[in-house]
Structure 1
Amino acid sequence: MSTPTPVTALARRWRLEVNMGTAEAADWQLCPAITSFEWSAEPNHEDSSTYDDDGWAGNTKTGQAWEVQATFNRKTSTDFTAYHPVHEKLRAVAMGWGADSEVPVRWMDRNGLPEAYQGSALVEWAPSGGETNDLDQVEVTLTGNGPLSQITNPLAA
């Protein structure tokens, strides 16, 4: 393995995909036109200090939650009769209930570096609105429902 050089990774390295198929027959498709992407996996720590710790604080990780926030330019067909199918899937899931309110997602380093994650998420859909000359953008929040798994990057060489 080569030693990393002092080149800074770019924020645009992330690629978000949505499973357009089923659990049995996954069909991972790109969510195009992302202009902003942020994710977090915040742990929950509880104080587990005891008298035996000689005054030092003790902490125990008792849970973890994950979330993705992405903004994208809404894409349509060239004749303006249909939205991009992945964007439509996210919008439909945001309006769903029960099993219809959750979607499998994954994101990875688009350059094939090892960082890649997968999980099932609830979707919040928030159109940005704007002025007459603004692009149609949507802010999507994917709130993890269950574990976030580290996966092998499907784009790795």
Structure 2
Amino acid sequence: MSTPTETVLARRWRMDVNMGDDVTPDYQLCPAITEFQPQWPPNIEESTTYDSDGWKDNDKTGQEWSVELTFNRKATPDSTAFSPVHEALRLASFAYGPDSKVGVRFYDRNGLPEAYSGKVLVTWEDQGGESTDLGQVQVTLTGTGPLTPITNPVTP
């Protein structure tokens, strides 16, 4: 195996939304993403005791995850419908209970091994703007339950 020398680009990320259900998933591309920031910080608690000889000790006690993304809002050429994936996210942001949770997966579009899936709650923020601005939406996906490493769906 050769030593990696090429820097990957931020635009390597791709995200799909499960438009089906848990039994029959139907992952569809979330189009027009312009910014994508996944994070999964651990919760670290200091656990030092007298037995540590003055060295601090820490334990991981939990994990959370989220994705912040921005996308250009897409509509049909006759302006009668938005992207069905964007609409699924928007409608989930208004829902409660099971309808508020959306399955997502995100992965390296070039087939590198980094890929994850999980369920999220959606926060939707239309960005508004000047008359010449693009219609953009900032979405925060807050993980509910585990973020699971998966096999990249575009891996050959």
Q: Same fold (TM over 0.5)?
A: yes
- Matched AA of 2:138: E
- Matched AA of 2:29: L
For 1:143-154, what aligned pairs fall within 5 Å after superposition?
Answer: 143-154=142-153
C-alpha deviations, 1:108-129, integer Å up to 9, x for none? 0000000000010000000000
Alpha-carbon distance in 2 for matches of 1:36, 1:154: 21
- Matched AA of 2:82: Y
Alpha-carbon distance in 1 for matches of 2:11, 2:137: 17
What is the CA RMSD across the aligned residues, in angstroms?
0.7
For 1:1-157, what aligned pairs fall within 5 Å after superposition?
Answer: 2-157=1-156
**Structure 1 residue runs of 4+, over 2 Å off?**
none
TM-score (norm 1): 0.98
Alpha-carbon distance in 1 for matches of 2:17, 2:2: 33
Alpha-carbon distance in 2 for matches of 1:56, 1:4: 36
Aligned-partner SS, 1:60 = strand
Aligned-partner SS, 1:90 = helix
Alpha-carbon distance in 1 for matches of 2:35, 2:7: 18
- Matched AA of 1:107: F
- Matched AA of 1:84: S
Alpha-carbon offset, residue 4 of structure 1: 3.7
- Matched AA of 2:11: R
- Matched AA of 1:67: S
Aligned-partner SS, 2:87 = helix
- Matched AA of 1:104: G
